[in-house]
Amino acid sequence: MSTLHFAIVGCGGITLQNHLPGLALCREARVVALCDADAATLERARQQTGVNIVSTNYEKIVQRDDVQAVIIATPNFTHAPIALAAIAAGKHVLCEKPLAMSGAEARRMAEAADKAGVRHMTAFTYRFVPAMRYLAHLVKRGDPGQPYHYRSCRLQDWGTRNLGWRQVKKLAGTGELGDMLSHRIDFAHLLVGPMKRLVANLKQWHPVRGGAPNDLEDWAAILAEFQSGATGVLESSKLASGRNESWRSLDSVELNGSERSFVFITGEWNKLQSGKVGGPGLETITIPQEFWKVPGSPRDPRQGDPLVTFRYDQAFEFIDAIRNRRPCVPSFHDGARAQAVTDAAVKSAETKQWVEVRQ
């Protein structure tokens, strides 16, 4: 099998934590080119990886003949122009979430990728938690029965520190909504299907973070109705003091159906809670081993911290979809669906009205 050549655009936090280690596990993939707008970050990445084709200009990198696939891990406002340039050059694209700055922009990206016949993937990384993959399987099998309610809660303690581009509207689009809630909007679509309408609220507590202006929200909440008739409540905060951060903080989803309820917590990667209607309460289900990784993934789920390493299956999914000429899961269309909810939430928070979600 020929080796797939990758370029990475954006060599900051998530590239170092996730994309590089994920690709390193895949023997049939090789990173051949790197791009970062910041020369010092690019030089550090060059030294760390030994990849010597580097540029601060993404156009030069995505147009290279020796690059077949591009990973975009830059601030949100750059996703669309970089993805569209890569697609125009005929490259497969894995782009970070939130996919774009608006639903319209995200849909343009998905349509351009479909038209060009390239693979496209949105990095909704938490879909790869084994417990979430197993829950999605149980839902598909019909175990919850008719879904009544979806509930998600993401609580972190980020205090008042400077979040860089994440606290600047023209660079990030939205704050907590796109940053953290976008993953949980995607879970909702995965488990319950498309949202129909919603009412939302956004709250900014700190107009200054770490001495710099913050013009985005620290907290977001959505009350939703799904097309299936199910209801949803989604909340996400950077200001849940004492809750810690990342996978050491709360990330929970609960699904109540006519037959069963299920509770997923990212921190409990190999367990779910479930209870049946009229039963004595929730019991623990252990995730079967065949769900500990994506089938075919080269990752050994017993190696490393499982709360970190599940993310590496994302690179495998992208590569496997390219190899087998099948759609990536999740695709740009999933990213665009989440973005439509984000647009509706912003509009609802501004107008204090229920808003229909454009699907």
Judged by CB, which is closer to ligand NAD: 187, or 226? 187
- The C-alpha atoms of residue 294 and residue 305 are separated, in whole angstroms, by 17
- Measured from the Cβ of residue 202, the count of other Cβ atoms closer than 10 Å reads 21
Q: Cβ closer to ligand NAD: 10 or 147?
A: 10
Least separation, in Å, of the C-beta of 114 and ligand NAD?
22
Is position 187 an interface residue for ligand NAD (rule: CB under 6 A)? Answer: no
**Choices 69-77, 239-247, 327-335, 342-350; region in contact with ligand NAD by CB under 6 A:** 69-77
Which residues within the stretch 14-53 sit at the binding site for ligand NAD (CB under 6 A)?
Answer: 14, 35-38, 41
37 vs 265 by CB, closer to ligand NAD: 37
Contact range with ligand NAD by CB under 6 A, out of 8-16, 131-139, 155-163, 238-246? 8-16
Stretch that binds ligand NAD, among 12-20, 184-192, 237-245, 322-330 (CB under 6 A): 12-20
Size of the site for ligand NAD (CB under 6 A): 23
Q: Judged by CB, which is closer to ligand NAD: 13, or 117?
A: 13
**Least CB distance to ligand NAD at residue 202 (A):** 17
Q: Which of 5, 10, 153, 312 binds ligand NAD (CB under 6 A)?
A: 10
Q: Is 11 among the residues that bind ligand NAD (CB under 6 A)? A: yes
Interface stretch with ligand NAD, choices 68-76, 254-262, 288-296, 319-327 (CB under 6 A): 68-76
Query: CB-wise, 75 or 194, nearer to ligand NAD?
Result: 75
Dihedrals φ, ψ of 40, to 5°? Answer: -70, -40
Q: How far does the chain reach from its first CA to its final CA, in angstroms?
A: 39
Smallest distance from ligand NAD to CB 15, Å = 6
Does position 70 interact with ligand NAD (CB under 6 A)? The reply is no
Please select the residue that binds ligand NAD; options are 73, 230, 344, 349, rule is CB under 6 A. 73
Residue in the block written with tokens 């949105």: 122
For ligand NAD, the closer CB: 56 or 351: 56
Per CB under 6 A, 13 contacts ligand NAD: yes
By CB under 6 A, the residues from 258 to 317 that bind ligand NAD are: none
Rule CB under 6 A: which residues touch ligand NAD?
9-14, 35-38, 41, 58, 73-76, 78, 96-97, 123, 125, 164, 179
